[in-house]
Chain A
Amino acid sequence: MSILLNKNSKVLVQGITGRSGLFHARMCREYGTQIVAGVTPGKGGVHVEGIPVFNTVEEAVRYTKANVSMIFVPPPSAADAILEAADAGLELAVCITEGIPVRDMVPVKRILADHKMKLIGPNCPGLITPEESKVGIMPGYIHKKGKIGVVSRSGTLTYEAVKQLTDAGLGQSTCVGIGGDPIIGLNFIDCLKLFNEDPQTEAVFMIGEIGGSAEEEAAEWVKAHMKKPVAAFIAGVTAPPGRRMGHAGAIVTGGKGKAADKINTLRNCGVTVADSPTRMGEALRSALGKGKS
């Protein structure tokens, strides 16, 4: 088992005729992902690298039974692409696109509440179930099949964490990069819930960053519901406080968001926090030793 993605997932690529869309469609297929279709409005009917391209997601789903979308559509049209995927009845959309305006994502998030489709991202590396399927831009070779769930707000720092886990002999069930934008689809808690229910996953590693309060909320959820050990790393302990404008941000967050606050909250909720990014694998081993969070 795994979460969200497995070897039976049929993946279509929105924006497949773009440079990165095509490149990563190829990389994912080489990893073993079933890439069954591409979608680019106006290019329906052609084939790229043997993959049929359709004008709409609906059409692609009708002909190929795709259930997952990987989105590489440029920012001005990306919000529309996500909604199109939801409307076509897909189960999961992974939006890699970086730079989608907040004003576009606010209604998307609201509308997705009425759909069954789950969204990962935007501005994320995607997700991978090692040795089965990869829907994203992460390097496949650092991953190894196993029992650790990984959920992260970061991109390359996730690769660093996963490599340390693999080097320590700790394979992964599924690794999810939820993305670093202000508005994202699945958050830490959504992924923790899925890992909690997944029989293959025995422990979870979480990678957070300064800013926002998602890590604090996840910590509270772990304390109340998590049946499995959780370890974490928070980047930015030594980051200088940035310049800021006005008061509204501070009023909304209530002053939360500093790395030290996040680490304290996580520890108080039973999460093992790595005190250095060089010891993420060790932190997870130690969490496994301690048992349930």
Chain B
Amino acid sequence: MNIHEYQAKEILSGYDIAVPRGRVCLTADQVERAAKMMGGHCVVKAQIYAGGRGKAGGVKVVHHPEQAQELAKELFARKLVTPQTGPEGLRVRRILVEEAVEIAREFYLSITLDRGASRYILIASAEGGVEIEEVAAKAPEKIHKLTIDPLTGLRSYQARKIALALGLSGSLCEDCVELILNLYRACLEKDCALVEINPLVVTRAGWLMAMDAKMSFDDNAIFRHREYPDMVDYSQLDTLEITAGKYDLAYIKLDGSIGCLVNGAGLAMATLDVLNECGGKPANFLDVGGGASREKVAEAFKIILQDPDVKGIFVNIFGGIMRCDVIAQGVIEAANEVHCPLPIVVRMDGSQVEEGKQLLMASGLNVQCADNLGDGAQRIVKMLG
């Protein structure tokens, strides 16, 4: 689960990490007023669930409240496309107006999970800013990494090594040690999948400050943070993806015409692969979960049919322990309930396959049964011509 920069900064503030004075705005008029409050000279930052905003024109320094207002109008009116949003881009619904801070030095600092090590890893670099991935690729020695032993936690001496490696000294170095320890505490207590400060700056006045912050939470840990669901900005998500999320279905909209309903993420990906191989274009990725319960299949049908690009549906369910006649019954009820007019190809595997097929053939739906994965993909592609 992602959150916005301003929300991440609110959380970091709670861990004694300094952030610029700022205000979140929902309208261009609010932006103007906030800019006035900052004295006119301020930074206007579009809030979207992706990075790379600066280069895409989503972050700008302005000098007058009117200029801030104009910029806000423009940002609210269009989609922001950055290397991290995908070609679709994201709509801007919130803008953060912040005081302009004089910067002396910039660093990169983050904590995330190192899957290979099965531990959290702290990453820091004195080459902060937008080109950090390039630095990592071309000059890896400039990236300082520390995998954290969960039993000892992050120790002061380890944080000090990082601070020194960033070139900090004296009291600023000790401030940085404190900040790093606080960041790790925030990462654990908030169940972060990622917490990233880029850039972390030393201001002209000599303070450490988080100029930008990104934070995302571990979806599996939301149960212990009751406030998280209310922090979601739904304008940043696809409407069908939101509906799917409510029913615990994994749905991703794609640009083809074959609606896909599959149980299990790996099989769902493999299904997209086979359709592409047969010359078909999938309209979506949809995983109803390994169990493929009747309710989920029904909701999945509804979601697929809301996509106007869908011309036919491919159901691929490896029932496993579930009986195919039960799955077939679920498909028939779901298709009837939503009055599915489109051609459907069903590939099922599991016990009672023949009974399941007979039920489908007798259902009166525009349905074909496939013998296996390849056969099913070919049939649906052929049906749609």
Encode B87-104 as 1/0 by CB contact (under 8 A) with A: 000000000000000000
Minimal beta-carbon separation of B262 from chain A (angstroms):
8
- Set of chain A residues within 8 Å of B265, measured between Cβ atoms: 154-155, 180, 209
Q: Does B118 contact A183, Cβ atoms closer than 8 Å?
A: yes
Q: Does A102 contact B193, Cβ atoms closer than 8 Å?
A: yes
Q: Say yes or no for A106: interface residue by CB 8 A criterion.
A: yes
Checking B85, B123, B277 against A276 with a beta-carbon cut-off of 8 angstroms, the contacting residue is: B277
Q: Say yes or no for B119: interface residue by CB 8 A criterion.
A: yes
**Which A residues, 228 to 248, have Cβ-Cβ distances below 8 Å to chain B?**
233, 235-248
Q: Say yes or no for B67: interface residue by CB 8 A criterion.
A: no
Encode A17-52 as 1/0 by CB contact (under 8 A) with B: 000000000010000000000000000000000000
User: Considering only CB atoms, which chain B residue lies closest to A276 in the complex?
Assistant: B277
Q: Does A163 contact B214, Cβ atoms closer than 8 Å?
A: no
* Size of the chain B interface, CB-CB below 8 angstroms: 71
Q: How far is the CA of A205 from the CA of B319 in the complex (A)?
A: 22
Encode B107-118 as 1/0 by CB contact (under 8 A) with A: 010111111101
- Set of chain B residues within 8 Å of A217, measured between Cβ atoms: 116
Q: Does B373 contact A160, Cβ atoms closer than 8 Å?
A: yes
- Set of chain A residues within 8 Å of B113, measured between Cβ atoms: 102, 106, 182-183
Q: Does B220 contact A101, Cβ atoms closer than 8 Å?
A: yes
The interface centre, meaning the residue of A141, A183, A251, A255 with most chain B CB atoms within 10 A of its CB, is A251
Checking B218, B223, B266, B319 against A103 with a beta-carbon cut-off of 8 angstroms, the contacting residue is: B218
Q: How far is the CA of A238 from the CA of B258 in the complex (A)?
A: 14
Q: Say yes or no for B276: interface residue by CB 8 A criterion.
A: yes
- Set of chain B residues within 8 Å of A139, measured between Cβ atoms: 319-321, 350-351
Total A-B Cβ pairs within 8 A = 201
- Set of chain B residues within 8 Å of A103, measured between Cβ atoms: 188, 191, 218, 221
Q: Say yes or no for B194: interface residue by CB 8 A criterion.
A: yes
Q: Say yes or no for A207: interface residue by CB 8 A criterion.
A: yes
Q: Does A110 contact B373, Cβ atoms closer than 8 Å?
A: no
Q: How far is the CA of A277 from the CA of B115 in the complex (A)?
A: 26
**Which A residues, 134 to 165, have Cβ-Cβ distances below 8 Å to chain B?**
137-139, 141-142, 152-160, 163
Q: Say yes or no for B51: interface residue by CB 8 A criterion.
A: yes
Q: Say yes or no for A75: interface residue by CB 8 A criterion.
A: yes
Q: Does B84 contact A252, Cβ atoms closer than 8 Å?
A: no
Q: Does A156 contact B264, Cβ atoms closer than 8 Å?
A: yes
Are A245 and B267 CB-contacts (below 8 A) given A238-B276, A239-B272, A276-B274?
no
- Set of chain B residues within 8 Å of A180, measured between Cβ atoms: 265-266
Encode B242-270 as 1/0 by CB contact (under 8 A) with A: 00000000001010000000111111011
Q: Say yes or no for B231: interface residue by CB 8 A criterion.
A: no
Known contacts A156-B318, A243-B50; 11 additional CB pairs below 8 A are A99-B220, A139-B319, A159-B318, A160-B349, A233-B270, A235-B266, A238-B272, A245-B50, A252-B123, A277-B270, A277-B274
A to B CB contacts below 8 Å, 26 in the list: A27-B321, A75-B220, A102-B193, A102-B218, A154-B266, A154-B267, A157-B269, A183-B113, A209-B269, A237-B276, A238-B272, A238-B276, A243-B49, A243-B50, A245-B50, A245-B84, A245-B216, A247-B51, A248-B110, A248-B196, A251-B110, A251-B136, A252-B114, A252-B121, A254-B136, A277-B373
